[in-house]
Chain A
Amino acid sequence: MAHFTTSSSFPYIVLLLLVPLLGSLAAVLLPKKHSETARWVGIGASVVTLGLVIAMTIAFQTTNGGYQFVSQHSWASELGISWISGIDGISLFMVGLTALITPIVLLGASEKKRTKSYVAWMLLLEFACIGSFVSMDLILFFLFFELTLIPSYFLIVGWGGPKRAAAATKFFIYTFAGSTVMLVGILYVAYQHHQQTNQLTFSLLDLMATRYSGVAGVLLLVAFTIGFAIKAPVFPFHTWSPDTYGEAAAGTSMMLAAILAKLGAYGMIRFDLSLFPHASSVVAPVMLTLATIGIIYGAIVACAQKDLKRLVAYSSLAQMGFIVLGTFALSEQSLTGAVFLMLSHGIITAAFFLLIGWIAQRRGTWQLDELKGLQGPAPILAALFTVVMLASIGLPGLAGFVGEYLILIGTFVTHQWWALVATFGVVFAAIYLLWAYQRSFQGKAEGANASVKDLTMAERAIVAPLILLIVLLGVFPKPFLDRITPSVDRTLNQITIVNCNPHLVCGSNLLGGHTGMGTQSEMGK
């Protein structure tokens, strides 16, 4: 039953997946001595992917909150599994972020040793991430979500600091354990749907109509959320991340912090809110509390770090707290802000790790005790680091502010006490980042610090897109917000419907409207 309902004449999504996958294969198959060729193959594949994403973003219909470019093929229909993928305003910029960061990693944070496999794993990771963001079938999503683990694991274990093997093991076991619980949840969701409709399916749009009793809904939500919370990470599931970000190579840390972390947050928005709208609002206070603790706790612990990469890891914990806060505050501004912050935090963190990687290349260390006064010998590096730092602090006019502000103001409307506490997080970000800047860039540079070379023209060109986006997203976020908001509205509408009609929680009226033809119309233009 090869039945096509592709709403777009051009198969963007399939190509977005094929190009990195083929690039990865090509890198593997190249002879061993051609490592530089492999790198350029990787750069080529990832740049083509980026071009495709840009073309797709232009073709994306701004005011349409539904899925676009849907590609649907039946696959293991006897098992209810099908190939359904599509993109809406929430996933659009996640795919864009993935396509943007990968070429920058390969250009600016490549590895000299075993370049071939580094490139191959990177492209496979890009493939898996894009696949996760576009999947509209739960099993398909799970396969891609699990697949991200493999290249991540081999990237962490293959390149980086001396304790990387331990970090990789911890990362693997931790995240794998989380996703196993999720698999149980997925199977139970399909089982429930089968009980209610006598139809076996893993399609997200179909399963969205399934309703659960209060306890079952909450348990399922927890099962899904643990996997996502570990990946994000959300307090208290974060302890793998400082070790991993600290030990992994700069490029790996970029991919993990910028993209994989977003996969966790994305999962909460896409699956938690859509599949369990009622349970989401029940569990919201717990999630908001964990998020708020993460914001404050991450910032406090960041203040005590002596290692730049670990500092960024804890700073990310705080930022992920903001994203989760915006997600579960369930207001239009806060959820739009959460999606926007996922994008901007991805760019900011990638820029951080890229710059820290270059510092490490020059100085052989990223310990704050050993760095000092780099602003003197390397003013451009210092200036760019300052821009990234200020964006992370949330200075208006730069990318970080928009998401943080929308999250806080939206959260204040629905959950003012959590917003009140979280607002103090903005003070801490200034403390630990300015302190880190003072330790590493200010003061009198002596010894090895005094002879640090400033960024080369090539390096400036590599980081330029990130810096430009940090400014653009801060000054003119409208094109991005206009594309995110309609999809956010659709997600929230569903929650409103469920919660405004408590009698419908297990009812069938709602079901009728969301299955069959209703699904098709949602997919169309």
Chain B
Amino acid sequence: MIQTAFLMPLFPLIGFVILAFAGRRLGERIAGILATSTVAMSFVFAVIVWVAMEGRAPSNREFTQTLFTWLPVGSLQVKVAFLIDPLSITMCLFVTFISAFIHLYSIGYMKGDRDTVKFFLYLNLFVASMLVLVMANNLVLTFVGWEGVGVCSYWLVSYYYDKESAISAGKKAFVYNRIGDVGLLLAMFLIFSKVGTLDYLSIFTKTSAFTPLVATLIGLALLLAATGKSAQIPLFNWLPGSMEGPTPVSALIHAATMVTAGVYLLCRMNPVLFLSPNAELIIAIIGALTAFVAATIATAQRDIKAVLAYSTISQIGYMVLAVGAGAYVAAIFLMIAHAFYKSLLFLAAGSVSHGLNGERDLGRMGALRKIMPWTSATFIVGWLAIAGVPPLSAFWSKGDVLDNVYRKYPYLWAIGLLTAFLTAYYMTRLYKLTFSGDARYKEVGPDGSPPLHPHESPWVMRIPLLVLAVGAATAGMLNLPFVHNFGLDEFLSPVFDATLYNAHESGSLLWLLAIIDSLVAIAGIVVTFFLWKGRSTYPLLERKFLLKEWYWDDMYDTVIGRPGTKLANFSATTVDVTVIDGAVNGIASGVVRTAKSMRKIQTGQIRQYALILAAGILALLVFVLTRVF
């Protein structure tokens, strides 16, 4: 049954094709149901493949399914082929599961929108691309999925195409990703020039061809790719803008799945990273820095989705840090747990704005707990989970990351712990500003808009919230530290065994670290309740420096954006017209001047020259034809 793997991406792809050609005739409702069921079918087949894999011995769980040859040119033979192994099926399972519920939620959220059919069409294509990304057996096919999810993200961020901020954000997301793509392309070129193949398994058998320098360069090129797709320093600042897209998109693409693709790529390429401790260290530093910087920015945001966006960047920073520490299983573990609690938080935030007429400003929320009991209850689960309160999922998964970092990079562990405190702080602040305190929605808005009338969301939106809340609470069970014959560690060991950094901490140290994590989480929550008691703003803690994301965007604008525009204008107006074309015209007029003496015998009419030339050549060709036939 493992041969049914290709059906996973095929179902949503078929959904996309049907919606592209017949979507408008089907109507909004059928389109939503169709899109949701194709993704549900993908999940069903992911389970079938997984069960089939479980039936095999752990050493025999790699399966390659070749569909057709894509790019055959000499020594470069790229096939459309899938590598089904414990890592890819793990990704498939959680991607299709969460996608299915976000599709379901979207039926309610997008109801009555102008282009709902188009929305589902993009969403289906996204799932198909994401599955191609994780299932590909070679880097080029991974790149197909990588770009596919990128373009879907572009479409969905600029979904409200008559809103200037949305379309600019979509473009920004695509261009930043494109910069990261250069990294992936260069990594592929470097690998191909050294080992002559781009199939993962073939590369891994030939890693002896990589010198330490080459391995480091490949590692850094892959890191560049990951910083683009997974929104890490220095390319992280496209992600907050992408919140302009509809909230289910933020939950699915910009929290649970696409943005973790960079982490997946790094994990997949673990045998190469393993060769370069330098690259691993740089990866770890980038991860830790991003986790910390994004968490500080999240503490000052006034937009409910912006807080969650920076939180996502920060959480992916932890995953990258784990990769840098060689803790690949911990990275994947956090990725899955994060997918549950962050998509839950986004969908809950979406439910809040859905009930508040699209409002996202925290200044107009507060005291929504009673009006939105389902939303607030599930949000609380997500909040406590991400904060790291035991025994919810992030306690286990974030703890796993920090434990691994502790031994390898103690300084980075300290940054990680500080970030954990900030995480508990900004999430508690977000909860307080949204669900408790004064009912600020009753007041007139800052732009004079009338008071809002919040309401709880329909069942089609509540069910996904409940399902994801269960996941957010219990995902820690996937990899409990004291269970050794069951869980991700065991399941993923065929993929990572050779390269995993396995500092098996003693039981007492593990307990100590767990207690520290828990204390930090609880301290963060308590401090926030204390500081924010009876407040809806706190200018001292919401500094402009943080609100403006450390002026990162302005810096790029000053250093790259504006000079770049000037360069382009200068090239177009001065270089091309005056210098290059000027030189051409100069030569031409020189010729004309020297030819002036011959002018009397020439008419100077280009049209006549052309006609004479035409007649001459035609006569020659006619001559040819008559001589030949």
Contact = CB atoms under 8 A, between A and B. Distances in A.
Interface of A: 2, 73, 75-76, 83, 140, 143, 146-147, 149-150, 153-154, 157, 168-169, 172-174, 236, 238-239, 242, 297, 300-301, 303-305, 332-333, 336-337, 373, 375-376, 390, 395-397, 402, 405-406, 408-410, 412-413, 416, 419-420, 423-424, 426-427, 430-431, 434-435, 438, 441-445, 476-478, 481-482, 485, 489
Nearest to A146: B617
B508 interface: no
Contact of B181 (A168, A426, A445): A426
B164 interface: yes
A442 B158 contact: yes
Interface of B: 68-76, 140, 143-144, 147-148, 151, 154, 158, 161-162, 164, 167-168, 171, 174-175, 178-179, 181-182, 185-186, 188-190, 192-193, 564-565, 567-569, 571-573, 575-577, 580-581, 583-584, 588, 606-607, 609-611, 613-614, 617-618, 620-621, 624, 627-628
Contacts of B628: 2, 73, 75, 83
Contact of B175 (A146, A238, A413, A430): A430
B15 to A, nearest CB: 17
Contact of B192 (A83, A402, A412): A412
Given A147-B614, A304-B569, 7 more contacts: A75-B624, A75-B627, A83-B624, A300-B567, A390-B151, A412-B193, A443-B167
B572 A443 contact: no
A396 B74 contact: no
Given A397-B148, A409-B189, A402 B71 contact: yes
A242 B68 CA distance: 41
Contacts of B567: 300
A395 B147 contact: yes
Q: Chain B binding site: helix, strand, loop or mixed by DSSP?
A: helix
B174 A477 contact: no
A76 B623 CA distance: 10
Nearest to B185: A423
A150 B143 contact: no
10 contacts: A83-B628, A150-B610, A236-B580, A242-B576, A305-B572, A332-B75, A333-B73, A373-B161, A409-B192, A413-B193
A155 B572 CA distance: 27
B617 A423 contact: no
Contacts of A406: 71, 73, 76
Nearest to A237: B584
Nearest to A420: B186
A236 B587 CA distance: 14
Contacts of B614: 147, 150
A376 B610 contact: no
Contacts of A143: 617, 620-621
Contacts of A169: 606
Contact of B573 (A154, A297, A304): A304
Contact of A150 (B69, B161, B617): B617
Given A83-B628, A333-B73, A396-B143, A149 B610 contact: yes
A62 to B, nearest CB: 12
A301 B568 CA distance: 5
B189 A146 contact: no
B171 A435 contact: yes
Contacts of B178: 426-427, 430
Contact of B73 (A174, A303, A332, A408): A332
Contact of B584 (A140, A174, A332, A434): A174
Contact of A408 (B189, B577, B588): B189
Q: Which 7 A-B pairs have the closest CB atoms?
A: A304-B572, A412-B189, A150-B614, A239-B581, A304-B568, A332-B74, A303-B568
A482 B72 CA distance: 7
B180 to A, nearest CB: 10
Nearest to A390: B151
A405 B175 contact: no
Nearest to B181: A426
B613 A146 contact: yes
Nearest to B620: A143
B606 A485 contact: no
A76 B626 CA distance: 12
Given A373-B162, A423-B186, A304 B571 contact: yes
B360 to A, nearest CB: 21
Contact of B618 (A147, A397, A476, A489): A147
A320 B573 CA distance: 21
A405 B72 contact: no
A478 B572 contact: no
Nearest to A331: B74
Contacts of A376: 161-162
Contacts of B147: 395-397
A333 B186 contact: no
A153 B610 contact: yes
A485 B189 CA distance: 20
A389 B268 CA distance: 31
Contacts of B181: 426-427
A218 B418 CA distance: 65
Contacts of B70: 476-478
Contacts of A337: 73
A478 B70 CA distance: 6
A442 B151 contact: no
B626 to A, nearest CB: 10
A74 B427 CA distance: 86
Given A143-B617, A426-B185, A301 B607 contact: no
A517 to B, nearest CB: 24
A438 B171 contact: yes
Nearest to A477: B71
Nearest to A240: B584
A478 B74 CA distance: 12
Contacts of A147: 614, 617-618, 621
Given A239-B580, A427-B178, A149 B613 contact: yes
Contacts of A478: 68-72
Nearest to B78: A405
B243 to A, nearest CB: 18
A301 B572 contact: yes
Given A427-B178, A438-B171, A485-B74, A173 B571 contact: no
Contacts of B185: 405, 408, 423, 426
Contact of B576 (A140, A301, A397, A402): A301
Contacts of B575: 301
A169 to B, nearest CB: 5
A336 to B, nearest CB: 5
Nearest to B143: A396
Given A150-B614, A402-B71, A442 B175 contact: no
A470 to B, nearest CB: 14
Contacts of B610: 149-150, 153-154, 172
Contacts of A172: 606, 609-610
A239 B584 contact: yes
B416 to A, nearest CB: 32
Given A297-B571, A442-B162, A336 B171 contact: no
Contacts of B190: 412
B445 to A, nearest CB: 23
Contacts of B588: 173
B403 to A, nearest CB: 39
A426 B147 CA distance: 12
B118 to A, nearest CB: 8
Given A150-B614, A390-B151, A427 B182 contact: yes
Contacts of B154: 434
Nearest to A475: B70
Question: Which one of A431, A442, A445, A485 has the highest number of Cβ atoms from chain B below 10 Å of its Cβ?
Answer: A442
B73 A173 contact: no
Contacts of A303: 564-565, 568
B68 A413 contact: no
Contact of A396 (B144, B564, B618): B144
Contacts of B577: 239
B73 A395 contact: no
